[in-house]
């Protein structure tokens, strides 16, 4: 599994070179650079057999920057598998892949984008309305009060000196508020804390606006069924899949395909999530199609470990590279090797794309099997 944005991109683009299919490629460059100064982009490929089909698989990767490495591997291997006829693309099903939805985050080994925004919470067309809800709903008002109380332990300004004392403090607040209130506070508070480890943004960010415009062009208006799979890592049992769905229709379909055990209903961190890509895109899309969607997660490490890794990396980033002027094309005067080789970068990488061959092989095979199962479901759908 490649753990570098440029290598992933290269493999993805090469994997489609020998496909015996109708292929349409497109991409857009974002006004940001990777650590070597090269531009970063999101790449699309649209494939089908003869005439444009009415049923589509939409496969997206890298909304959370460094979760790209798993998603990209699944996309590239699927393309290679179709080339080698290991996987058969049914005549009445097409595939649209979007590679690296947050390429800056992938290139700089961050989960968030250049604006420190968690794009997994940011696909919202009616932002003012949603923010109003967070300001007026009593549950959210309470959650934000809790967030202010726990702020210094979830978003510390510097590295805690004593690891054990730090863990004890987190444990204390967890006990004080209980798991569901603690988690809900993190979900609600991230709407307003711009330097927070999981800031959700103030409006829909450039990555999502560009992605949405491209999907509107690529997806035929007369599509009848779209199945959107958004590939992620970090949630669930190590090396196993968990499906997170956001609506009843998708829930029903996922249970029919995979069984109840591994499907969870829009309950990341114990509360409903606003702005997840799967639900945001479904609401905003312009076809007449029946639209099913799921977030496909592969487990890596226990959730508290990946949470700490995100937090520690955020401390490091904020100390080294906090960017006040996000419109700058390049980040100047920074020793990128020093920035990228820090222990927090290794830690976050290990928590979202473990280096062990066993995990990588298992994740890839589970990912490919899940995606090909959905292709079969699309083929059988009447």
Q: Contact positions toward Zn ion, by CB under 5 A?
A: 64, 67, 232
CB of 77 to Zn ion, least distance (A): 20
Q: Could you tell me if residue 171 is left (phi over 0), alpha (psi between -120 and 50 degrees) or otherwise beta?
A: alpha
Give the torsion sign (CA, 353, 357, 362, 365).
positive
3-state helix, strand, coil in the chain (%, to 5): 50, 20, 35
CB of 118 to Zn ion, least distance (A): 9
Q: Which is nearer to Zn ion, 78 or 244 (CB)?
A: 244
Q: Which is nearer to Zn ion, 101 or 146 (CB)?
A: 101
DSSP state of 52: P
Quick one: tokens of 379?
A: 């083929």
Q: Which is nearer to Zn ion, 16 or 351 (CB)?
A: 351
Question: Rounded to whole angstroms, how far apart are CA atoms 246 and 244?
Answer: 7
From the number of C-beta atoms within 10 Å of its C-beta (0-12, 13-18, 19+), residue 178 rates as: exposed
CB of 324 to Zn ion, least distance (A): 26
Half-sphere CA count of 122, side-chain side, radius 13 A = 28
CB of 223 to Zn ion, least distance (A): 26
CB of 109 to Zn ion, least distance (A): 14
Q: Which is nearer to Zn ion, 53 or 367 (CB)?
A: 367
Q: Which is nearer to Zn ion, 96 or 235 (CB)?
A: 235
CB of 232 to Zn ion, least distance (A): 3
Rounded to the nearest 10°, the torsion over CA 84, 256, 249, 379 is 30
Q: Which is nearer to Zn ion, 64 or 317 (CB)?
A: 64
């Amino acid at each position: 599994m490649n753990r570098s944005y440029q290598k992933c991109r290269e493999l993805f683009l090469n994997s489609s070179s020998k496909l015996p299919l109708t292929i349409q490629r497109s991409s857009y460059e974002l006004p940001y650079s990777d650590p070597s100064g090269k531009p970063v982009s999101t790449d699309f490929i649209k494939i089908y057999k003869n005439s444009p089909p009415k049923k589509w698989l939409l496969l997206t990767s890298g909304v959370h920057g460094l979760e790209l490495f798993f998603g990209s591997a699944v996309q590239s291997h699927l393309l290679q598998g179709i080339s080698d006829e290991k996987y058969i693309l049914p005549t009445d099903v097409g595939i649209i892949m979007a590679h690296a939805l947050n390429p800056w985050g992938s290139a700089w080994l961050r989960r968030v984008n250049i604006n420190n925004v968690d794009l997994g919470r940011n696909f919202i067309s009616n932002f003012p309305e949603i923010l109003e809800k967070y300001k007026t709903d009593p549950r959210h008002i309470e959650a934000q009060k809790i967030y202010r109380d726990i702020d210094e332990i979830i978003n510390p300004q510097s590295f805690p000196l004593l690891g054990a004392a730090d863990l004890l403090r987190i444990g204390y607040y967890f006990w004080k508020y209980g798991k569901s209130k603690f988690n809900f506070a993190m979900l609600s508070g991230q709407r307003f804390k711009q330097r927070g480890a999981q800031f959700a943004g103030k409006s829909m960010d450039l990555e999502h606006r560009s992605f949405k415009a491209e999907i509107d062009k690529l997806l035929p208006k007369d599509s009848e069924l779209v199945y959107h799979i958004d590939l992620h890592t970090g949630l669930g049992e190590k090396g196993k899949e968990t499906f997170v769905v956001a609506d009843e229709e998708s829930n029903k379909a996922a249970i029919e395909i995979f069984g109840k055990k591994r499907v969870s209903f829009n309950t990341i961190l114990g509360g409903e999530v606003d702005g997840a890509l799967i639900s945001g895109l479904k609401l905003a899309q312009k076809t007449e199609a029946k639209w099913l969607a799921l977030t496909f997660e592969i487990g890596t490490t226990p959730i508290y470990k990946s949470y700490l890794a995100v937090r520690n990396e955020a401390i490091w980033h904020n100390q080294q590279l906090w960017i006040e002027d996000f419109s700058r094309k390049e980040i100047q005067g920074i020793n990128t090797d020093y920035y990228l080789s820090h222990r927090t970068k290794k830690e976050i990488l290990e928590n979202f794309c473990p280096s062990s061959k066993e995990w990588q092989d298992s994740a890839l095979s589970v990912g490919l099997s899940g995606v090909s199962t959905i292709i079969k479901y699309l083929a059988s759908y009447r």
